[in-house]
Amino acid sequence: MKKNTMQMNSAKRWIAGTTLLASILFTQSTLAAPEKLRLSAATSPTDQRAIAMTEIFGKEIQDITTFEPHWNAALFKQGTELEAMARGNLDMTISSAQQISEFFPEFSIFTAGYVMQDAGHQQRVFNADFMTPLKEKVEDELGVKLLSVMYLGRRQVNLRTDEEIQTPEDLKGIKLRMPGTESWQFLGNSLGANATPMPFSEVYTGLQTGAIDGQDNPLPTDRDAKFYEVTKQIVLTSHLVDFNYIAISKSTWDKFSSEEQVRIQKAADDAAESARQKQLALEDSLVQFFKDKGLKVYEPNLDAFRTHVQNEYLQSDLSKSWPKGMLEKINALGTTN
């Protein structure tokens, strides 16, 4: 946690310096609408999010400004986009709660297991009144406006073992590969498994040899990596319903008229909805794909998993930065509360 604390303090100092810079840049700029909106994101151009931004967002605002996306982090290195926007060097990005939490620790609640229940829940939370102070804080202190939320996918447990999994207790002793950072390892352990760090490139072989018993990823990743060749079941835990934010520089946003802002907001919402529906349809179709490959695919006792995982977070240091009462408000907007 010491490393994370140092990163948080550094981020706060950085924000203090860039807030003044952003105000100077805005004062010096004119209010004429920008001729183009440059977006930089690590997303590949074939990703549903990139397709939606190009084909829907870009086209809906083409009579206002020119949308100029740069995919595969071609313009700015992944993880540096928010700083670039705060400095006035970039107009837009597709960001994440993980990235924003580096500047505002309270956003870490959205990176925890079983906080978001599904794609609809993400939307309801993003549009809720209790989110307004958080969004305004990002605008005021970082100079970044969060326009809309884009559904990324549900992470599921994929195992090489036969035993049916219904509760966290059933995962006891299971070596579950998770990404190597502290937050990811905590999530794996909170599911009841023994979280095991391993590079993604080694996961297939690890499953094949038994070095690990399972791994977690969204279904499209499981298919693309052909994990179905070396596993026997997929447990639809949906323990992390991941998402991104469509974000725009506040100084850029303020250069548009109120009518243009309404148009840009609608374009962002339309793009997010298109990407959301296509990603959900892909996930649904893959359930049958894996069944056809001979895997068992089923849903466990989600209430048992959700209760166990949330309790693990609430008893840990990871939840200390969460706004008081926020988890209860988020849960109240879910289909299961």
Tens of pLDDT, residue by residue over 165-190, are 999 999 999 999 998 888 889 999 99
CB within 8 A of 57, min separation 6: which ones?
Answer: 67, 246, 267, 268, 270, 271
Which CATH fold topology does 156-240+285-332 show? Answer: D-Maltodextrin-Binding Protein; domain 2 (3.40.190)
Q: What does the alpha-carbon distance between residue 198 and residue 236 come to, in Å, rounded to a whole number?
A: 22
Q: What is the pLDDT of residue 271?
A: 99
Strand partners, 159: 214, 233
Q: How confident is the model at residue 28 (pLDDT cuts 50, 70, 90)?
A: very low
Asked whether the predicted pLDDT for residue 21 surpasses 60, the reply is no
pLDDT class for 2, splitting at 50, 70, 90?
Answer: very low
- In the chain, the N- to C-terminal Cα span, in Å, equals 30
pLDDT of residue 31: 60
Decide if domain 2-151+243-274 falls under CATH 3.40.190.170: yes
Mean pLDDT computed over every residue of the chain: 91
- Amino acid in the structure at residue 11: A
Percent of the chain predicted with pLDDT > 70: 91
Is residue 134 pLDDT above 50, yes or no?
yes
For residue 69, list its beta bridge partners.
39
**CA 273/CA 271 separation, integer angstroms:** 5
Cα Dmax for the chain: 65
Strand pairing partners for 145? 248
8 A C-beta contact, residue 314 and residue 327: yes
Q: Using CA atoms, how far apart are residues 160 and 178, in angstroms rounded to an integer?
A: 15
324 phi, psi to nearest 5 deg: -60, 130
pLDDT at 10 over 70: no
Rounded CA separation 256/251 (Å): 10
Amino acid 1: pLDDT: 47
Q: Report the predicted TM-score, pTM, of the whole model to 2 decimal places.
A: 0.82
Domain ranges in the chain? Answer: 2-151+243-274, 156-240+285-332
Percentage of the chain lying above the pLDDT 90 cut? 82
> Do 2-151+243-274 and 156-240+285-332 agree at the fold level?
yes
